[in-house]
Amino acid sequence: MADAQHSIPGSAPHASGSLRPETLAVAAGRPARVQDAPANQPVTFASSFVAGGPTEYARYGNPSWTALEEALGALEGGESVAFASGMAAVSAVLSLVPHGGAVVVPRHAYQGTLSLLDAEAERGRFAVRRVDVEDAGAVEAALDGAALLWLESPTNPALEIADVPRLAAAARATGVLVAVDSTFATPLRLQPLALGADFAVHSATKLIAGHSDVVLGAVGASDPALAERIRTHRGMHGAIPGPMEAFLALRGLRTLAVRLERAEANARELARRLAEHPAVLEVRDPGFGTVLGIVLADAAAADAAVERVRLWLHATSLGGVESTLERRRRWATEAPTIPEGLIRLSVGIEHVDDLADDLLAALG
């Protein structure tokens, strides 16, 4: 993925004719180069716009969103639509499932997504088919008559890896839409649209914004017609991002490559050290990204470790510059197949020795 090259939409070609994703994260979505104009898209606080243009009213657009959407779209290789939250982005994609349709989803996935799917299934709006996403054959078998295949890779919090190209091809062959929640991977490690998916979904709250101060979501679409349906849903349901949130997320995106590089290096080293600790029964490491899982003997052992840390932050979110951790089964809605002693680690950019010292001491 790191060697993929793209042009910046709406801008003059780079001298080389294309830009790599790390550069796009910095260069895309900037305002026109006019003398004394700002180098960055400023925040636009406005509810009404002068008539006659494409926006007219703030529920249909804002320059602060547009800049973020241009940058994310360039990274995804499609059109991006920003939302008020990750769940608003999830809801927009699910809105395309017809009444009575079926959604194929990993048995382990983000709690909010699974809870929303279960709620809709209870209402009779559509059926939900849960699958082991690492068993590609079982996923393909579940696609018969489905309307949407929803994937996560890595899954949250089990950190399973899906064969996205194979599953996307199988879904497309049977007319099933494909959405990939790529929050953990980010566009710098996984580009679902290039692998055959129709949608790439992000909680931009996490690694994209990267500083634990924004709630925002985004949907990338491979087809302009699908993007327009998603955009229409956003406007009709009022799931619009605030201009300040969009500004902060874009500012965070500018440093994603360097944050990700540092945090990933920390994660791989921590995985190595944790595997040698006698209290750790299992280390779950997808091999990329900033999230790890460790399994301790039971809930009591995991809760005790979480309470003992001093540098790591006990918090339910992830993807910030600070390292966070939590025992996932403390949530009643977490899948019963997740071990009671599983601690999800979101690795930040601190010095790896400090992170290791704190965590290993907490493990006893």
Q: Is residue 1 part of a domain?
A: no
Q: How far separated are the first and last CA of the chain, in Å rounded?
A: 39
Cα–Cα distance, 76 to 207 (Å, whole number): 15
pLDDT, position 14: 36
Token pair 């590089």 in the structure block, residue: 261
204, 335: one domain = no
182, 274: one domain = no
Residue among 258, 201, 316 at smallest CA distance from 23 = 258
Q: How large a percentage of the chain has pLDDT more than 70?
A: 95
Is the preceding omega at residue 165 within 30 degrees of 0, hence cis?
Answer: no
What's the predicted TM-score (pTM) here? Answer: 0.93
Query: Are the CB atoms for 341 and 327 separated by under 8 Å?
Result: yes
Q: Is residue 15 part of a domain?
A: no
pLDDT, position 1: 35
Residue among 260, 221, 323 at smallest CA distance from 1 = 260
338-358: b (≥16 Cβ within 10 Å) or e: bbbbbbbbbbbbbebeebbeb
pLDDT, position 19: 94
| Three-class SS state of 94 | helix
The CATH number covering residue 247 comes to 3.40.640.10
Residues of the chain with pLDDT under 50: 1-17
- Which DSSP symbol is given to 353? H
Domain extent at residue 160: 21-254
The predicted-structure confidence for 267-293, as pLDDT tens digits, reads as follows: 999 999 999 999 999 999 999 999 999
End-of-domain residue from the set 232, 254, 276: 254
pLDDT, position 9: 36
231, 216: one domain = yes
pLDDT, position 173: 97
pLDDT, position 4: 37
End-of-domain residue from the set 254, 280, 298: 254
Cα–Cα distance, 147 to 66 (Å, whole number): 30
- Which DSSP symbol is given to 34? -
